[in-house]
Amino acid sequence: MTETGSSGPEVVEFLKHLADERQLSPNTVTAYARDLAQLESFLGEYLGRASWQWSDSEVDRLALRAFLGWCGRQGLSKRSAARKLAAARTFFRFLQAEERIDSSPGRAVRGPKLDKRLPGHLSRGDVEDVFAFAERAAAENTLSGTRTLLIMELLYGSGLRLSELHGLDVGVLDERSKSVRVLGKGRKERIVPVTDAALRALGRYALRRAEVADRTSGPLLLNARGGRLSRRSIQETVRKCFEVAAGARGLSAHALRHSFATHLLEAGADLLAVKELLGHVSLSTTQIYTHTSKERLLRVYRQAHPRST
């Protein structure tokens, strides 16, 4: 590791900038720190000396290209290598803005070409199976059972991210307007519609929640001790529901958000509207779901049209 190290002043200031000014999540900041630590370690070996600075002329485009080559030799996927390059570019832009370097070496480095990866999602039949299981759990009228149904209704019915669901507090679901106020990536707030089914699930869950905590304040999703339900527990709840549907097994909780977007687009929803519902900054991020819909249309065409083959 070099003198700058992951605890060096430039990196420390950058990570503080991400956390305080850009208000990125702790997990995202940790990922940046990990990627930059690997870059620093590589540069120490690449430059052949223990003492170097980010402003050194040898920390250039060729050095970053060599870093991408190193990522490949370590067995990292193209997607992981691209993420590390993106972290380096963001860091160098920060250094340039702070006048620590004259120009960013990352601007001239082309990242690895990524294959378009369609997000995992549930079929409509899988959704029916999964929610039938969640409904049976809620019928037990326990804290855990009623909470399971509410989790599933909000993840699929409103397209929430797991982190957004985890951070919900009592009072953010407005039953009159049938909406929920969530804090998304970059601490950006948005209002998302809530289904009637989710509101019914909330009513059943609220009775059981009141047995372990105050009705009017605190986290929405509680564990049996009255504390905020962990992200791991939410993931485990979804995993148990997914086990009943063959097409859902092995998928993560995020698959419900993917299913939310895919099923809306398949039903003819406007792409810009779906973008706003998901809280995406760029339309290109939302467009991945149009590929999913096109794949389905092509599959139906090939199976149904007599002259498709």
Strands 173-174 and 179-183: antiparallel
| 124 included as an active-site residue | no
Q: What is the pLDDT of residue 296?
A: 62
Q: How far apart are CA 293 and CA 289, in angstroms?
A: 6
Tell me the pLDDT tens digit for each residue of 179-189: 999 988 777 88
Q: How far apart are CA 195 and CA 188, in angstroms?
A: 22
Q: How many CA atoms lie within 13 A of 229 on its CB side?
A: 27
| 305 included as an active-site residue | no
- pLDDT band of 284, cuts 50, 70, 90: confident
| 215 included as an active-site residue | no
Closest by Cα among 20, 23, 45, 243 to 134: 243
- pLDDT band of 239, cuts 50, 70, 90: very high
Tell me the pLDDT tens digit for each residue of 25-67: 888 899 999 999 999 999 989 998 878 999 999 999 999 999 9
Of the residues 93, 190, 228, 280, only one is catalytic, namely 280
- φ, ψ of residue 215 to 5 degrees: the values are -70, -30
Q: How far apart are CA 143 and CA 224, in angstroms?
A: 8
Of the residues 89, 231, 254, 296, only one is catalytic, namely 254
Q: How far apart are CA 87 and CA 18, in angstroms?
A: 11
Q: What is the pLDDT of residue 2?
A: 36
Q: What is the pLDDT of residue 165?
A: 96
Q: What is the pLDDT of residue 220?
A: 96
Dig out the tokens for 223 from the structure: 């564990």
CB-based contact 68:78 (threshold 8 Å): no
Q: What is the pLDDT of residue 294?
A: 62
What mean pLDDT is predicted for residues 250-254?
89
Q: How far apart are CA 213 and CA 224, in angstroms?
A: 10
Of the residues 185, 208, 239, 296, only one is catalytic, namely 185
| 185 included as an active-site residue | yes
Tell me the pLDDT tens digit for each residue of 122-162: 988 999 999 999 999 999 999 999 999 999 999 999 999 99
| 280 included as an active-site residue | yes
Mean residue pLDDT across the chain: 88
Architecture per CATH, 124-302:
Orthogonal Bundle (1.10)
Tell if the pTM clears 0.85, that is, is over it.
no
User: In the CATH scheme, what is the code of domain 9-108?
Assistant: 1.10.150.130
pLDDT higher at 246 or 258:
258
Q: What is the pLDDT of residue 119?
A: 66
Q: What is the pLDDT of residue 292?
A: 61
Q: In degrees, to the nearest 5, what angle opens at C-alpha 197 toward C-alphas 212 and 265? A: 130
What mean pLDDT is predicted for residues 201-206?
96
Of the residues 161, 181, 231, 240, only one is catalytic, namely 161
Q: What is the pLDDT of residue 4?
A: 38
Domain ranges for the chain:
9-108, 124-302
Q: What is the pLDDT of residue 180?
A: 92
Of the residues 32, 156, 205, 289, only one is catalytic, namely 289
Give the Cβ contact number of residue 151 at 10 Å: 26
